[in-house]
């Protein structure tokens, strides 16, 4: 009998180590079928949080149904990259070290220092909370421009692909950090090169402050409207040493500065499209843990995107186990639509229950 309890105890420790099951979430952007059936299925699979974006985020019925089934909704709120009409006018674009606008395929990025753009976004946030009353906000694209989805292991990032070197940003940087650029620098490239050569540390520090200040504004406003609202933040899945600390230098994401405003930190560990191994997912979580005590909930991809080959069930399972490994506090699947395309992959939920 005693042996049995010892074994049971060891099993529970091992189980807890492999599968900590606090957050089981899915991202979902569109849905054509019956919502009751959808939520019944979420319930039966053990999903307790839904991150709802794009078209579906504007469906009031979706939020009402979620409440009925006791599933939390977090509205995905894209901040500095947005599919909206704001980019028809070029004035909001961030500017890179070559003087080019921050645009690559579908990725359009605003200057994070642009007050007019920030106000526009905060107004949008206010409307979302008033109209849909979500349980949480999932803060997305909260960073400087980079098309990280296409940067594989061992690639180099061009230092001048840094942003934002628009006049507004440079002026604010000079004022905040007490630095004056020499008068003889004329082109954006000359100014960017000078800043990166002589004051790179101050530049990077300032960038992380600009991003964190927007998170502070978002969370302050949201809490004013709904005091118990929760926040998740989407993080680029780069470890400190990847691409010479590009998470801070290029993206301007400082985990310790950002995490103090939010409930969950969620790195987008899309290992397959980034040409990494499944066990890499856990290494990202561990790296982030060094900078925060907040729960880390990695997001993994269910299906392929950007690459034509499909993800095998075996590899998907390995990535799942890697994502659930401590210190992870759960998992967010990107995205439900992929499960609908490949229903066999729903088998993975049996490992959770």
Neighbours of 289 (CB within 10 A): 17
Least distance CB 241 / Zn ion (angstroms): 28
Task: State the nearest-atom distance from the C-beta of 163 to Zn ion, in Å.
Answer: 7
Size of interface with Zn ion, in residues (CB under 5 A): 5
Is 100 strand, coil or helix? coil
Least Å distance between CB 96 and Zn ion? 10
Is the CB of 206 or the CB of 238 nearer to Zn ion? Answer: 206
User: With respect to Zn ion, which residue has the nearer C-beta, 165 or 238?
Assistant: 165
Instruction: Please answer whether residues 95 and 157 qualify as being in contact, where contact means their C-beta atoms are separated by less than 8 angstroms.
Output: no
Which letter does DSSP use for residue 50 in this model?
E
User: Does the CA dihedral 240-242-244-249 come out positive or negative?
Assistant: negative
Report how far residue 230's alpha carbon sits from residue 226's, in angstroms, rounded to the nearest whole number: 9
Residues from 297 through 326 that contact Zn ion (CB under 5 A):
none
Q: Which is nearer to Zn ion, 71 or 192 (CB)?
A: 192
Question: In the chain, which residue ranges form alpha helices assigned H by DSSP?
Answer: 2-18, 35-45, 60-68, 115-132, 167-177, 188-198, 200-225, 246-249, 255-259, 280-289, 313-324, 336-341
Distance from CA of residue 280 to its chain's centroid? 17
Site string for Zn ion, 94-133 (x = CB under 5 A): -----------------x-x--------------------
Q: Considering only residues 145-184, where is the footprint of Zn ion by CB under 5 A? A: 164, 166, 169
Token pair listed for 24? 């089981």
As measured in angstroms, the least distance from the Cβ of 103 to Zn ion is: 14
To Zn ion, the closest distance from the beta carbon of 167 in angstroms equals 8
Radius of gyration of the chain (CA): 21
The CA-to-CA distance between both ends of the chain, in Å, stands at 26
DSSP states along 319-331: HHHHHHSTTB-EE
Closer to Zn ion by Cβ: residue 31 or 168: 168
Taking CA atoms, 221 is separated from 125, 208, 296, in Å, by 8, 20, 24
Q: At what angle do helices 167-177 and 200-225 cross, to 10 degrees?
A: 100
Nearer to Zn ion, 253 or 301 (CB): 253
Cβ-based nearer residue to Zn ion, 57 or 102: 102
Least distance from C-beta 147 to Zn ion, angstroms?
18
Instruction: Pick between residue 125 and residue 166 the one whose CB is nearest to Zn ion.
Output: 166
Tell me whether residue 89 or residue 344 sits nearer to Zn ion (CB atom): 89
Closest contact distance (angstroms) between CB of 142 and Zn ion is 16
Whose tokens are 């650029």? That residue is: 181
Q: Which is nearer to Zn ion, 52 or 192 (CB)?
A: 192
Q: How far is the CB of 164 from Zn ion (least distance, A)?
A: 3
Question: Hunting for tokens 């109209």 — which residue is that?
Answer: 131
**Distance of closest approach, residue 187 Cβ to Zn ion, in angstroms:** 16
d(CA 87, CA 93): 7
CB of 212 to Zn ion, least distance (A): 16
Q: For Zn ion, give the closer residue by CB, 193 or 286.
A: 193
Q: Which of 222, 150, 156, 159 is nearest to 189 (CA)?
A: 159
Q: How many CB atoms lie within 10 A of CB 16?
A: 11
Interface contacts to Zn ion, rule CB under 5 A: 111, 113, 164, 166, 169
């Amino acid at each position: 009998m005693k042996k049995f309890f010892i074994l049971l105890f060891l099993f529970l420790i091992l189980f807890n180590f492999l599968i900590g099951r606090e957050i089981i979430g899915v991202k979902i952007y569109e849905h054509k079928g019956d919502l009751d059936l959808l939520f019944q299925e979420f319930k039966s699979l053990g999903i307790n949080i839904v991150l709802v974006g794009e078209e579906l985020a504007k469906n009031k019925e979706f939020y009402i149904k979620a409440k009925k089934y006791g599933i939390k909704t977090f509205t995905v709120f894209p901040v500095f990259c947005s599919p909206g009409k704001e980019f028809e006018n070029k004035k909001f674009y961030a500017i890179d070290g070559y003087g080019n606008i921050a645009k690559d395929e579908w990725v359009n990025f605003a200057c994070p220092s642009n007050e007019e753009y920030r106000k526009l976004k905060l107004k949008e946030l206010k409307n979302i909370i008033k109209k849909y009353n979500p349980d949480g906000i999932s803060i997305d694209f909260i960073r400087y421009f980079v098309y990280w989805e296409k940067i594989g292991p061992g690639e180099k990032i061009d230092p001048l692909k840094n942003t934002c070197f628009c006049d507004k940003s440079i002026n604010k940087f000079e004022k905040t950090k007490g630095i004056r650029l020499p008068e003889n620098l004329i082109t954006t490239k000359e100014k960017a090169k000078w800043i990166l050569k002589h004051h790179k540390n101050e530049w990077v520090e300032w960038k992380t402050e600009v991003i964190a200040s927007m998170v502070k504004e978002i969370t302050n406003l949201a809490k004013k409207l709904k005091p118990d609202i929760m926040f998740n933040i989407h993080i680029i899945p780069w470890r400190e040493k990847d691409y010479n600390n590009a998470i801070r230098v290029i993206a301007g994401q400082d985990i310790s500065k950002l995490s103090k405003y939010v409930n969950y930190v969620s790195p987008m560990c899309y290992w397959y499209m980034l040409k990494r191994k499944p066990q890499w997912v856990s290494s990202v979580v561990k790296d982030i843990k060094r900078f925060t005590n907040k729960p880390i909930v990695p997001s993994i991809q269910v299906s392929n995107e950007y690459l034509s080959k499909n993800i095998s069930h075996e590899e998907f399972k390995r990535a799942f186990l890697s994502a659930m490994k401590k210190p992870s506090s759960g998992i967010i699947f990107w995205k439900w639509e992929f499960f609908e395309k490949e229903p066999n992959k729903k088998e993975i939920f049996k490992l959770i229950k």
